Chains A and B, each alone.
Chain A
């Protein structure tokens, strides 16, 4: 922006921001400076602290829960909640949209901020203002339309209209295009450029480096909770970008790999190297939005005793691929086959997938992995109850022998080092790492040929991570095939024999351990659909 000298004073200055959660330092000494009318991108690997930083900025984490200083338009500010941030004109739009589906567009725009006199809604004013805002974001819909009738792209525009209704001065967008198709993405980026022209500064968190190059003026890179550098993308709004994607990638991954992983043990059974899992032509659509292909013609193989990684950014379709292969528990199946041990298997339901020898360890253990109100031993046995038979009457089919079950669980408590006084402890009381060991025990006891591990070390401290890696190595050494999904590249590089990369539902690369570096993977992961 060109203007009087005053305009060069930063609209936002965050200095020395440090935020700790119990046991984890999420941010340390982070600085972020946004100039007026600037589109400022924030980049970093998953877990680098981007979302936490935005939560600090917008008031989700209240003042006092972090250290450091925030100055907005020159004034020091201290927000005690989101509303306080919004009163200053700082509005955040989260990755998961926060719209009420059955209310109309207009009602959503003014939710919590209603046009009213003496407690009564001024409907004329509401609709008139909503129409004006919709025009401003270029959304051609009647304000009375329920939000549920809109696609994700249009819902995103409603969110922005809602932000504009709050007299936004600084708009924060968290992965705004992650759920959008190309056309909607282009439209949204265009809108952000329009807003810049109107003087609204914008902070965008994005994984899509091509988009950053297209719209951003500057980019700040976070790594391991620190702001490592701020780079200029273009000098003036209309100039061509002079920053390459490779330069950004180097900033994002610039750390050395170290000894955080156990030495890999080779499997030397007679059938080593035989295909254990092969998926071919796997295509799955979104369960609701059936126009969207979430997993697109994916073919991959995992051999016995092999650990194969899948790298990809959020929204690349990794979890969707895994869950749909595991008994079609995600999305709408379109095409493709699954073979275990060279034989094609019908895995239409989860029980069928388990019978075929597939296990899936979920990325979200609290929602999909565990019965938190039940005990350790009952969680461990759940996937293999028919095998928990005892002797005598307790050996009849359909019965479970509680003693046998408990002694099995005790065995895992010892071998997996689950820290709990007895296996009768409620799983909900355990720490994240120990909960993860319970989930792993459950699936190891189901004795599958193929284990799909989805973010097995998410939310776990470093010590427990090493233990989990050891378990994974042991499984491979026994001849199991392991498909290892992770957002942490060092972890994949440390553990896997081969790594597939995914982007936008497709496999974009296959890299051998010897050739794999973070830069190579990141380049594949951020590659455009060709």
Chain B
């Protein structure tokens, strides 16, 4: 505590110079290390299994299969990521998948309800289940681990009660299409699936437009901008990746319906988490609940909504899974919650909340999906598959912990 007689001047108070582009890039990379790392890991896995399976992995039929096989896990992972960002957990989603699948089977198979109405009602059931859990977590204040553990038992039990221990099938074709269908072919015969090409082209155009507008506005606001060359390279890489993916799908049956649903969720919820007030409140709650509350975040309402959202997504996953199996069964969705949680953590979530992105959850889910698919193709038994997936989860989070500790020094 020195007593100076003149207003002290801080020697380091000169305005900081514009940081170099390299430093900026490195900074951005480090901030998203886990996501970039997982993207690299995903690419590595794809190349590995592509070689190992003599090219089977990326055959158009297998790519379609891969998407349809993992669609419901990815849907769950997106919801789970948001729950985990807020600092909670949801153990009930596997049971909720089973329960909603069972209810949809009862409505359509037993009562011959039109499938669209049944689908809407199923999502509503999910919303109500989510609201039930959200009420106890947000307003009563019971920890989410306990409430959803109870939900896990509760919904599994209800499933068995509703189905009376038996499987119900078959579903109408329209409903089955959610999981197994593709968007219909149109126009003249080409070698490729026409609507898919159009969607692909539109996607590329949209992405480039977005990048361009983003850059224009960054320049307008005089924010630090990535160098032009680097930016162009990024755009080209993105366009090429989408084009390759589109051609692969277009040379088989086209875009699976599940992929459309997933992309809708990825874009929609990704946008909400990034750009909507409620999304930003979720990050704030997970990062520091006390500070968020004192900044005017309505913590209870936000928490409630997160679980309603998770309920709806679990219901959607339940319908997709039931449609894929073409049956409502009591054993549906077993361990799905663990897969979704693993996908979130591989994709960059933190146990203490506050970090993660919806895209990260999808990447994490794909890492697990490619592992599953690739290992099955090369005939690795499910016993070893489990061991390997366990180690991957440990390694992904371990790497992140190590990386953060290094950055902290």
Check if A382 is an interface residue, CB within 8 A of chain B: yes
Check A464/B274 contact, CB under 8 A, given A258-B3, A368-B291, A373-B354: no
B188 contacts partner chain A, Cβ-Cβ < 8 Å: no
Residue A424 interfacial (CB < 8 Å): yes
Contacts of A329 in B (CB 8 A): 293-294
Contact A371 B288 (CB under 8 A): yes
Is the pair B3, A255 in contact by a Cβ cutoff of 8 Å? yes
Tell me, rounded to whole Å, the shortest Cβ–Cβ distance linking B33 to chain A: 13
> Residues 463-476 of chain A: 1 if any B CB is under 8 Å from the residue's CB, otherwise 0?
11011000000000
A383 at the interface (CB under 8 A from B): yes
Of A82-90, A139-147, A234-242, A394-402, the stretch lying at the interface with chain B is A394-402
**In the complex where A373-B354, A403-B223, A406-B221 touch, is A362 in contact with B275 (Cβ < 8 A)?**
no
Please state if A466 and B7 are interface contacts (CB–CB under 8 Å).
yes
- A260 in contact with B24 given A373-B354, A374-B287 (CB within 8 Å): no
B278 within 8 A of A: yes
How far does the alpha carbon of A367 sit from the alpha carbon of B294 in the complex, in Å?
11
Interface residue? A339 (CB, 8 A): no
A53 at the interface (CB under 8 A from B): no
* A440 on interface, CB distance cutoff 8 Å: no
Number of A-B contacts (CB under 8 A): 130
Q: In the docked arrangement, what's the CA distance between A420 and B12, Å? A: 11
Please pick, from B4, B15, B24, the residue contacting A414 in the complex, using a CB distance under 8 A: B15
A72 on the interface (CB 8 Å rule)? no
Q: Which residues of the other chain, A, contact B220 by a CB distance below 8 angstroms?
A: 403
Does chain B have a CB within 8 A of A417? yes
Which of A354, A426, A462, A464 has the largest count of B CB atoms less than 10 A from its CB? A462
Cβ B293 vs Cβ A350 within 8 A: yes
Is B287 touching A400 in the complex (CB atoms < 8 A)?
A: no
Contact present for A259 and B15 (CB under 8 Å): no
With A329-B293, A350-B296 known as contacts, the answer to whether A407 contacts B5 (CB < 8 A) is no
**Do A402 and B288 have beta carbons less than 8 Å apart?**
no
- A267 on the B face (CB < 8 A): no
Assess whether B296 is in contact with A383, with CB atoms less than 8 Å apart.
yes
Chain B residue, CB-CB nearest to A490: B3
Cβ-based interface call for B276 (8 A):
yes
Minimum C-beta distance from A322 to chain B (A): 11
List the A side residues contacting B24 at CB < 8 Å: 422
Interface presence of A456 (CB below 8 A): no
Contacts of B3 in A (CB 8 A): 255, 258, 260
Which single residue of chain A is at the shortest CB-CB distance from B6?
A: A259
Contact between B281 and A385, CB atoms less than 8 A apart: yes
Given A407-B222, A463-B8: A378 in contact with B283 (beta carbons within 8 A): yes
Q: Tell me if A320 is interfacial: C-beta within 8 Å of chain B.
A: no
A298 within 8 A of B: no
Query: Which residues of A from 440 to 480 have beta carbons under 8 Å from B?
Result: 442, 462-464, 466-467
What's the nearest-Cβ distance from chain A to residue B2, in Å?
6
Near A by CB (< 8 A), chain B positions 289-316 give: 290-298
Q: How far is the CA of A314 from the CA of B219 in the complex (A)?
A: 50
Given A402-B275, A403-B218, the answer on whether A225 and B291 have CB atoms closer than 8 Å is no
Chain B residues, CB < 8 A from A410 = 222-223
Given contacts A351-B296, A351-B298, A382-B284, contact A371 B221 (CB under 8 A): no
Contact B277 A371 (CB under 8 A): no
A residues near B277, Cβ cutoff 8 Å: 385-386, 398-400
Asked whether A385 lies within 8 Å of B294 as measured between CB atoms, the reply is: no
A370 in the interface, Cβ–Cβ < 8 Å? yes
Q: Is A372 an interface residue (CB 8 A)?
A: yes
Q: Please state if B292 and A399 are interface contacts (CB–CB under 8 Å).
A: no
Q: Does A369 contact B (CB under 8 A)?
A: yes
Tell me which residues across on chain B come within 8 A of A467, comparing CB atoms: 10
B9 within 8 A of A: yes
Question: Is A336 an interface position by the 8 A CB rule?
Answer: no
| Shortest CB distance A100–B (Å) | 21
Q: Is residue A419 within 8 Å, beta carbon to beta carbon, of the partner chain?
A: yes
A462 with B275, Cβ < 8 A, contacts A224-B1, A382-B297, A419-B13 known: no
Could you tell me the distance in whole angstroms from the C-beta of A46 to the nearest C-beta in chain B? 12
Docked complex Cα distance between A381 and B274 (Å): 13
- Residues of B within 8 Å of A374, CB to CB, are 283-284, 287, 354
By Cβ-Cβ distance, the 9 closest A-B pairs, closest first, are: A371-B287, A463-B10, A383-B295, A407-B221, A351-B296, A371-B288, A382-B295, A354-B296, A385-B277
